[in-house]
């Protein structure tokens, strides 16, 4: 089954850069989500604060890939507990930097905290959901999420990863960012209560 790049944007650009075919993916409804991912993904707003509440402490970033050119900035990150450990989520984001004020640009480019933390201080930025997805875990995603046996687990019995697509807009309705967030399989989200 071929996956349309738009369904996994901006993750699709990181796959293209690595020369890998996109994993199988499809749009899903809220009702199709298992309970654990539904609690995190179906609610409005930023995912980061919900993950922080669940694990009991702030999250940090593990930058896996980045691109910065011509006013555009994209990154693929793992959201990890501040004290280390496995990613609690994988995020792919592509931003138009000039849409953010200078102080926010600096915080984004510093790559120290998740975008959800940066946006806590941002006025007049609206997040619009573009839907929920499920994606077959492949070797690239297994490695990015630091799953126990990574490549062999993804090849032997690929699990579904659940996520959501969204976009950010300024107060005039201009697009600022495209975001895809994916959660690891429930059994791999250690540290969550």
Beta bridge partners of 75: 66, 93
Beta bridge partners of 89: 79
Q: Mean pLDDT in the chain? A: 87
Range of lowest pLDDT (38-42, 129-133, 151-155): 151-155
- The pLDDT > 90 percentage for the chain reads 62
More confident residue, 190 or 119: 119
In this predicted structure, the answer to whether residue 181 has a pLDDT above a threshold of 50 is yes
Whether residue 179 contacts residue 168, with contact meaning beta carbons closer than 8 Å, is answered with yes
Q: Please give the pLDDT value at position 153.
A: 47
Q: Which domains are assigned to the chain?
A: 5-188 (3.40.1410.10)
Which range, 25-29, 40-44, 83-87, 187-191, has the best average confidence (pLDDT)? Answer: 25-29
Q: Please give the pLDDT value at position 91.
A: 96
Which of the four pLDDT bands, split at 50, 70 and 90, describes residue 157?
low
pTM of the model as a whole: 0.89
The three-state DSSP-derived secondary structure of the chain is CCCCHHHHCCHHHHHHHHCCCCCCEEEECHHHCCHHHHHHHCCCCCHHHHHHHHHCCCEEEEEEEEEEECCEEEEEEEEEECCCCCCCEEEEEEEEHHHCCHHHHHHHHHCCCCHHHHHHCCCCCEEEEEEEEEEECCHHHHHHCCCCCHHHHHHHCCCEEEEEEEEEECCCCCEEEEEEEEECCHHHCCCCC
Beta bridge partners of 175: 169
In this predicted structure, the answer to whether residue 101 has a pLDDT above a threshold of 60 is yes
Q: Please give the pLDDT value at position 189.
A: 41
In this predicted model, what pLDDT tens digit does every residue of 131-153 receive, in sequence order?
999 999 999 999 999 986 544 44
Q: Please give the pLDDT value at position 182.
A: 97
């Amino acid at each position: 089954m071929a996956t349309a790049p738009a369904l996994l944007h901006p993750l699709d650009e990181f796959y293209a850069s690595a020369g890998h075919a996109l994993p199988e993916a499809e749009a899903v409804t809220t009702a199709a989500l298992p309970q654990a991912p539904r609690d995190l993904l179906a609610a409005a707003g930023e995912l980061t604060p919900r993950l922080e509440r669940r694990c009991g402490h702030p999250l940090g970033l593990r930058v896996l890939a980045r691109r910065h050119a011509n006013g555009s900035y994209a990154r693929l990150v793992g959201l990890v507990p501040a004290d280390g450990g496995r990613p609690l989520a994988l995020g792919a984001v592509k931003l138009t930097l000039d849409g953010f004020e200078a102080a926010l640009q600096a915080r984004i480019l510093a790559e120290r905290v998740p975008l959800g933390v940066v946006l806590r201080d941002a006025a007049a930025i609206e997040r619009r959901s573009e839907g929920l997805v499920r994606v077959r875990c492949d070797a690239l995603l297994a490695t990015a999420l630091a799953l126990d046996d990574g490549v062999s687990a993804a090849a032997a019995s690929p699990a579904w990863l659940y996520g959501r697509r969204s976009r950010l807009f300024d107060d005039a309705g201009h697009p600022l960012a495209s975001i895809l967030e994916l959660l690891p399989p429930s059994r791999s989200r250690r540290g969550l209560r």
